[in-house]
Amino acid sequence: MNTKEKTLKQKRLEQLFQECQDTVISQTLSALGLCKGMFTDRDGGNVTTLKNFKREDNSYVHERDHASYEQANKKFERSDYTDRAWNEKKAKYKAGGIDKYTGKEFEDSTSVDLDHITPLKKIDSNKKYHLAYNTGTDSGRERLRDIANNDQNLAPTNASINRSKGKKTNSEFLESTPIERKKELGVNDELMKKEEKKSQKYIESQGNKELLKKQTKEILSSGGEQAIDMGVKQAFSSLMIEVINITFNEVKIIVRDENILDKKSLKQFNNRIKRNIRAFICKVPDILKDSIKGGISGFLSNLFTFIINNFISTAKKIVTMIREGFRAIYRVFKMIFFPPEGMSKTEIWANAIKLLSTTLITTFALTFTDTIAAFLTVNLPILTPIADVIASVFIGIISGLASALISYLIDSLLDKFIDRHDEQMMDMLLEQSEIREKLVTDLITFINTSEKSVQVYTHIIQRNQLICQNFATIENNNTVIHSGISQSVKKIQKVTEQTKSQITKSIETVNSIESSQIDIEIFLANY
């Protein structure tokens, strides 16, 4: 084995160890109830199917339908179907005057009876109607009573025909009654069959409609709840795995660091925490996507369980296996039909095989959970309160580790026997790995340098801010001085203007005095 093959094998082992660690964390969290507690699996699933409702016991019937199950299995009582408007209906049909079984007019209206075309006992013995109408409630029994006494199931006929027919269907009556007796009663075979067909069609269609409405509502309700539960479980598991992995890595670094309390180590620890937080935030969109996928698989697994229970009654362990395995089946389907871009066919099928093998291992391992719990209860009674938890943790870890090992073996076989084992592909894988490692190292160095530069830039900015504040103070002082000088100049200018005005007035006064003096001198000279 050359150096490159050894390096590739080492990377495969590191991947295996990481998957094992994630698996142990995930399965332990689930088994301890942090995720598993949100599910309450039951025999028969979350929606009662007609097959399970017809069983001799109600263990596969949902609790909400137990009362209807009891009503369906109790002895028939005609009083349960008494129609309060029976006399009014009978009077209405008498007024019509036509016998539905003979096609003739009534000769004596006092001998007219109303016959239930489909007998009440036959309706009551059909468990589908009890499930569909939810006869465990008063409103459900009333709805079934209204259907049984609907005009579509009533036929006015001669009292003698009605009593001869009794609790039989029209077909049973026609088959069991001699021809001579039918002629004596005057019954028309075609009319009786026509009325029976009309009645059965009405009752059956109404029952099917009610059952479909009931089960659709319950599928949507329980499927929505399971979708939310599975989505929350997936998101919670992913978040906890990330947090625990980050914590483990930090603990390993701290243990290796001898000077964990010095300033440099604390600063490095602070930087790592910031990087981990940023990396964690970047993974939130992927966690949300996984949560949505988990929700879809939860809804589909609920629907799939209901479909299966229409043919086979499934115990709650099977329900659990369906729910837990359905997400893997969904991922296999998506991998095969909607693979990621750039993935070769070999890689697509390899990943699909790994997902399928994981599903099979998990499904197979779950069948032993009750066995291990029972073993612990019998042999170690002190562990009885937590036997289920221990069994779930053990089975979860074993199945998870087995799945990771199978994935490792599949990758190793592909490396050895398929195109990925050639030298060129190994060079590419190793080169990409080395490039990624170098890129990570360079990024860490760059981040540390950037952090130092930011600190220097912060100090420079603070000093520049101080200088700016000083300049602002000086500018404010200069503004005040300039304002004072401007005001003084304006005052001087004003005084100067006033002085000029006074001088001009003085000159005018002097000139006036001189002119007056000359006039006086001329006057004196004349006199």
333-338 average pLDDT score: 76
Query: Quick check: 156 pLDDT over 70?
Result: yes
For range 493-516, the mean pLDDT: 71
Distances in whole angstroms, Cα of residue 102 to Cα of each of 5, 107, 348? 93, 12, 72
What is the H or E stretch that residue 382 is in?
A: none
Q: Pick 477 or 171 by higher pLDDT.
A: 171
pLDDT at position 153 over 90: yes
Q: Which of 284-298, 411-425, 440-454 is predicted most confidently?
A: 284-298
Highest mean pLDDT among 88-92, 188-192, 292-296, 514-518: 188-192
CA distance 1 to 11: 15
Q: What is the pLDDT of residue 88?
A: 87
Least-confidence region, from 8-12, 79-83, 306-310, 503-507: 8-12
Q: What is the largest CA-CA distance in the chain?
A: 188
- Distance between first and last Cα of the chain: 155
Half-sphere exposure of 246 (CA within 13 A, CB side): 18
Structure tokens at 370: 């009750």
pTM: 0.62
The residue with greater pLDDT, 47 or 10, is 47
233-266 residue pLDDT tens: 778 777 877 777 777 777 777 766 666 667 777 7
170: helix, strand or coil:
helix
For residue range 271-282, list pLDDT tens digits in order. Answer: 888 888 888 888
Q: Which residue has the higher pLDDT, 26 or 185?
A: 185
pLDDT for the residue numbered 193: 95
Model confidence band, residue 7 (pLDDT cutoffs 50, 70, 90): low
Say if CB 9 and CB 430 are below 8 A apart.
no
Count Cβ atoms below 10 Å from residue 179 Cβ, excluding itself: 8
What pLDDT, in 10s, does the model give residues 393-442?
A: 777 777 777 777 777 777 777 666 654 444 445 555 556 666 666 666 66
Region 212-222: what's the mean pLDDT?
Answer: 95
Q: Give percent of the chain with pLDDT exceeding 90.
A: 26
Q: Which of 199, 185, 101 is nearest to 153 (CA)?
A: 199
Summarize pLDDT for 173-209 with one digit per residue, the tens. Answer: 999 999 999 999 999 999 999 999 999 999 999 999 9
Which has the higher per-residue pLDDT, 326 or 372? 372
| Confidence grade of residue 525 (pLDDT, cut at 50, 70, 90) | low
pLDDT digits (tens, 9 = 90+) for 139-149: 999 999 999 99
Output the pLDDT for position 54.
Answer: 93
Average pLDDT (448-459) is: 67
47 — pLDDT class (breaks 50, 70, 90): very high
Q: How confident is the model at residue 470, as a pLDDT?
A: 73
pLDDT at 171 over 50: yes
The C-alpha atoms of residue 327 and residue 391 are separated, in whole angstroms, by 23
pLDDT of residue 452: 67
Provide the percentage of residues in the chain whose pLDDT is more than 70. 73
More confidently predicted of 278 and 446: 278
Q: What's the rounded mean pLDDT across residues 30-39? A: 46
Strand 112-116 versus strand 154-158 pairing type: antiparallel
Q: How far apart are CA 389 and CA 42, in angstroms?
A: 18
Residue 451 has pLDDT above 60, yes or no: yes
Rg (alpha carbons) of the chain, rounded to whole number: 48
